[in-house]
Amino acid sequence: MRFTIERLANLLAKSAVKSAYWLRYGLYDSFHRREEFSDHLNIPRLYVDVSTTFRSDAGTGIQRVVRSLMNYLIEGHGRDYQLVPVVATKRRPFMAITIAQWKEKDLRALRIAKILRVRPGDIFFCLDFSSHLLPLHRIQIQRIKLEKVLFKVLVYDLLPIIYPQFFTMRNTRNYEAWFDVVTRYADDVLCISKAVAQDFRNYAVQRRGLSCPMPVHVVPMGGDITSSRPSTGVSSLQNMTLEFLRKRRVILMVGTVEPRKAYQHALSAMEKIWTEDPNSDLCLVISGKLGWKVEFLAEKIRKHPEYNVRLFWMSDASDEVLDLLYKSCFGLLMTSYAEGYGLPVLEALRLGKPTLVRDIPVFRELGDQSGISYFIDDNPVELARDIISWVDAPLPPITGKEQYTWEQAGAILKVALGFVRA
């Protein structure tokens, strides 16, 4: 009797999900073609969400991760799995595009994208940043889960939840809703660092009052920027700036200009250095788009007396420009209060450049590499002293440059996805 009641409850729950799915997406199912695939290939389909990067590649670290890992996954297409890129918008569900459309970033593909036709044993993998999209398509995730499709998610960080003071209320609300979907439906969670994995486990316990409900894997990232299908393009103004900077000692900072990155402390320290030594050839170069809650800082940078003299801000640098900045700089400075990984640190080390970073756990994960120096106090006087000591110290050979390639990251990813045994 109990078995019958449980079975009936499950049938009713499945019926409710299918009804909700039809109400939400019925028109798309009716007016869009279903995807085509090779049934003769006895291998699972790997659906990979690339929604944000496909529609609007902002050129941040996350987009470099998506492009790099997609490159590696494409290599296994037809051998270990059938790779199917999928794209969603706020109104449209996750729909299939072709690998060629993904490579070409052909936005016309959104009009002819095809309804997913999943089968048991397939995998749906959220590779892209999706906190603003995934909660909107919870019903579709429930629907594919009914078909015994494995749902796996790459977690970049939980920073808007853990440090809401650095983000907008909208960011935090989106993350809370995204976290709820992930903890309810994901079969596996893949984190980009041990620090993120620990944050995920801790918050899962705090939020749900239980131990983490699914396996959590760590997939370290790569640092070879040229293997990430880098964006290209160098404007005439950028080329002139690069030529000027080649004759200077450049301290480079990379990342969106937003509160968590603590750019204001770096600027205050550099002001201290420039005041004490008006002839200093040290330049501060910021490569990162304008973010949120930094209007005062952005205005201060653009009106600074050293702007375009010893202070530069490239808010629209392509990966090609960023690579040139890495190669021409003295080293990389990262003052972030928290990071999911800190991709620029690896990218700088791979090119033989030293780094000065805040002493936080995620940067300690990179191991005992001679190119990494740490600071603790971001008081302008102390940080200025640390910067001067860093740039004036003899540069030791940087070890471990061959570590953390995108090829290695891709190999670990395939293990976490279940296609290769560890």
- In this structure, the strands spanning 114-115 and 95-96 are antiparallel
Considering the chain, what percentage of its residues have pLDDT values greater than 70? Answer: 87
- The residue-averaged pLDDT of 239-256 equals 94
Structure tokens at 84: 């199917």
Residue 20 above 60 pLDDT? no
Whether 284 contacts 312, CB under 8 Å: yes
Query: Distance between CA atoms of 97 and 83, rounded to whole angstroms?
Result: 10
Give residue 22's pLDDT band: very low, low, confident or very high (50, 70, 90).
Answer: very low
Higher pLDDT, 34 or 305: 305
- The residue-averaged pLDDT of 212-232 equals 84
Considering the chain, what percentage of its residues have pLDDT values greater than 90? Answer: 69
Give residue 400's pLDDT band: very low, low, confident or very high (50, 70, 90).
Answer: low
The reported pTM is 0.89
Q: Where is mean pLDDT largest: 16-25, 56-65, 216-225, 320-329?
A: 320-329
Residue 390 above 60 pLDDT? yes
- The residue-averaged pLDDT of 235-239 equals 92
pLDDT digits (tens, 9 = 90+) for 118-147: 999 999 999 999 899 999 999 999 999 999
Give residue 106's pLDDT band: very low, low, confident or very high (50, 70, 90).
Answer: confident
Residue with tokens 């997609």: 70
Identify the H or E element spanning 364. helix 361-364
Ramachandran angles phi, psi of 90, nearest 5°: -65, -30
Higher pLDDT, 153 or 207: 153
Q: Do domains 11-222+407-417 and 226-392 have the same CATH topology?
A: yes
CA 204 to chain centre: 21
Q: State the pLDDT at residue 35.
A: 52
Residue 3 above 60 pLDDT? no
Q: State the pLDDT at residue 173.
A: 96
Query: Distance between CA atoms of 74 and 99, rounded to whole angstroms?
Result: 8
pLDDT digits (tens, 9 = 90+) for 147-179: 999 999 999 999 999 999 999 999 999 999 999
Q: Which of the residue ranges 188-202, 208-222, 240-254 would you say has the lowest mean pLDDT? A: 208-222
pLDDT digits (tens, 9 = 90+) for 334-382: 999 999 998 999 999 989 899 999 999 999 987 666 789 999 999 999 9
If you average pLDDT over every residue of the chain, what do you get?
A: 88
Q: State the pLDDT at residue 80.
A: 87
Q: Which of the residue ranges 9-13, 331-335, 393-397 would you say has the lowest mean pLDDT? A: 9-13
Domain 11-222+407-417 has CATH 3.40.50.2000: yes
Structure tokens at 106: 């052909």
Query: Distance between CA atoms of 330 and 281, rounded to whole angstroms?
Result: 11
DSSP string of 277-324, one letter each residue: -TT--EEEEEE--B-SS-HHHHHHHHT-TTBTTTEEEETT--HHHHHH
**Orientation of helix 406-417 relative to helix 61-75, angle to 10°:** 70
Residue 23 above 80 pLDDT? no
Whether 370 contacts 252, CB under 8 Å: no
Q: State the pLDDT at residue 30.
A: 45
Q: State the pLDDT at residue 373.
A: 93
Whether 291 contacts 60, CB under 8 Å: no
Query: Could you tell me the residue ranges of all domains in the chain?
Result: 11-222+407-417, 226-392
Query: Distance between CA atoms of 165 and 371, rounded to whole angstroms?
Result: 31
- In this structure, the strands spanning 82-87 and 95-96 are antiparallel
Query: Distance between CA atoms of 172 and 410, rounded to whole angstroms?
Result: 30
- The residue-averaged pLDDT of 301-325 equals 95
Q: State the pLDDT at residue 8.
A: 53
**Topology of the domain comprising 226-392:** Rossmann fold (3.40.50)
Q: State the pLDDT at residue 207.
A: 76
Give residue 421's pLDDT band: very low, low, confident or very high (50, 70, 90).
Answer: low
Q: Where are the alpha helices (DSSP H) in 186-331?
A: 194-208, 236-245, 263-276, 295-302, 319-328
pLDDT digits (tens, 9 = 90+) for 256-280: 999 999 999 999 999 999 999 999 9
Half-sphere exposure of 349 (CA within 13 A, CB side): 27
Largest CA distance in the chain: 87
Q: State the pLDDT at residue 401.
A: 61
- In this structure, the strands spanning 331-334 and 249-254 are parallel
Whether 116 contacts 144, CB under 8 Å: yes
Whether 383 contacts 263, CB under 8 Å: no
